[in-house]
């Protein structure tokens, strides 16, 4: 089992915003769908980073850019295809979510160049 953390400041702010809206019962339909899918993905990731439903794989261009292995997992597919990005750490048995983006169409040259990831939280 891994502990899941949110990257700072972007992912942490994003997740807190979703949680606050959920508590206030003010999520719109798209946010509700995202909250459900992201929650399910985090549960699967925590139990097994190689869970078959996540289709996890390392993204070499981002790993080179950020100087650490960056992994991509499926959040959803189809019209709103999104992927989330994560790294191991900063501590042992921890995974930090560092980004959520629309599918980058990785077959296109430079598709990952526009992706900006959150930083790891302090140890």
Q: Output the six-digit token pair for 78.
A: 């189809």
Contact at 8 Å (CB) between 90 and 96?
yes
- 107 in any annotated domain: no
Task: Please give the C-alpha separations between residue 58 and each of 15, 16, 19, in angstroms, as whole numbers.
Answer: 23, 27, 28
Q: Where are the alpha helices (DSSP H) in 4-103?
A: 10-23, 29-47, 60-66
Q: Report the side by side order of strands in the sheet with 57-58.
A: 3-6, 94-102, 82-88, 71-76, 57-58
Q: Output the six-digit token pair for 28.
A: 């719109």
The mean pLDDT value for 76-82 works out to 82
Q: Is the pLDDT of residue 107 over 60?
A: no
* pLDDT of amino acid 105: 67
**pLDDT, the chain, mean:** 92
- 118 in any annotated domain: no
**Total count of residues recorded for the chain:** 123
Q: Is the pLDDT of residue 110 over 80?
A: no
Domain residue limits at 62: 3-102
Domain count, the chain: 1
Contact at 8 Å (CB) between 62 and 85?
yes
Q: Output the six-digit token pair for 56.
A: 């996890």
* pLDDT of amino acid 115: 87
Element (H, E) at 119: none
CATH of residue 88's domain is: 3.30.2310
Per-residue pLDDT tens for 18-68?
999 999 999 999 999 999 999 999 999 999 999 999 999 999 999 999 999
- 120 in any annotated domain: no
- 54 in any annotated domain: yes
* pLDDT of amino acid 92: 95
């Amino acid at each position: 089992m891994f502990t899941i953390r949110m990257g700072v400041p972007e992912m942490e702010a994003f997740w807190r915003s979703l949680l606050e809206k959920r508590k206030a019962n003010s999520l719109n339909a798209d946010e509700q769908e995202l909250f459900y899918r992201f929650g399910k993905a985090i549960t699967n990731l925590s139990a097994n980073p190689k869970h078959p439903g996540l289709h996890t794989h390392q993204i070499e261009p981002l790993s080179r850019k950020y100087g650490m292995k960056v992994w991509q997992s499926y959040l959803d597919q189809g019209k709103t295809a999104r992927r989330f990005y994560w790294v191991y750490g900063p501590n042992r048995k921890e995974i930090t979510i560092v980004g959520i983006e629309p599918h980058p169409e990785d077959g296109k040259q430079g598709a990952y160049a526009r992706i900006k990831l959150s930083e790891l939280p302090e140890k």
